[in-house]
């Protein structure tokens, strides 16, 4: 597995590359353990711009995921990009009475599941994705976030 960790914020309360690697290893199925993807940690301005450009929502959000869409004939282990807004994640953790580490782990795994094709665009898909997140987080000793 190869994570390209990009820090584009002044926020200091950010997990280490070792933590991201541990969470990714838990989230990725065995056949995807050679995956490559980017995690970019940004400020509210950058995530707002991306959310507006790609989702037509003119507001900040905690995380965005951009799965790669390679042609079938290209066989590379690329998954895509995950963009996380540090200040929002840390603020949410406090508001939800979670540790920052637990919330970062949850959202990182949430983003990875999006890269793997999971979605929450309807009730059935949302339940499937949430159930998977609950199982993965339990493997790390983290309580059900829902």
Quick: pLDDT tens for 85-106: 999 999 999 999 999 999 999 9
- Long-range Cβ contacts of 28-34 (<8 Å, 24+ apart): 28/1, 28/112, 28/116, 29/116, 32/77, 32/79, 32/116, 33/1, 34/1, 34/77
Q: Give domain status of residue 66, yes or no.
A: yes
Cα–Cα distance measured from residue 111 to residue 67, given in angstroms and rounded to the nearest whole number: 9
User: Which residues form the domain of 108?
Assistant: 2-139
Q: Give domain status of residue 39, yes or no.
A: yes
Q: Give domain status of residue 56, yes or no.
A: yes
* Structural domains counted in the chain: 1
Q: Give domain status of residue 22, yes or no.
A: yes
pTM: 0.95
Residue 37 has pLDDT above 90, yes or no: yes
Work out the mean pLDDT of the chain and round it to a whole number. Answer: 96
At residue 40, the pLDDT reads 98
Averaged pLDDT for residues 43-48: 98
Q: Give domain status of residue 146, yes or no.
A: no
**pLDDT tens, position by position, 50-89:** 999 999 999 999 999 999 999 989 989 999 999 999 999 9
Which CATH number characterizes residue 109's domain? 3.40.390.30
**pLDDT tens, position by position, 117-142:** 999 999 999 999 999 999 999 999 99
Q: Give domain status of residue 45, yes or no.
A: yes
């Amino acid at each position: 597995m190869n994570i390209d960790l990009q820090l584009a914020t002044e926020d200091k309360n950010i997990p280490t590359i070792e933590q991201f690697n541990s969470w990714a290893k838990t989230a990725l199925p065995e056949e995807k353990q050679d995956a490559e993807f980017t995690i970019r940690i940004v400020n509210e301005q950058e995530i707002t711009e991306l959310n507006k450009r790609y989702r037509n929502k003119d507001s900040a959000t905690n995380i965005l995921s951009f799965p790669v869409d390679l042609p079938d004939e290209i066989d590379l282990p690329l998954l895509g990009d995950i963009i996380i807004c540090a200040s929002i994640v840390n603020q949410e953790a406090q508001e939800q009475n979670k540790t920052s580490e637990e919330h970062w782990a949850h959202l990182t795994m949430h983003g990875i599941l999006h890269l793997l094709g999971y979605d929450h665009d309807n009730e059935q898909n949302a339940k499937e994705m949430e159930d998977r997140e609950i199982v993965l987080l339990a493997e790390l000793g983290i309580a059900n976030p829902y």
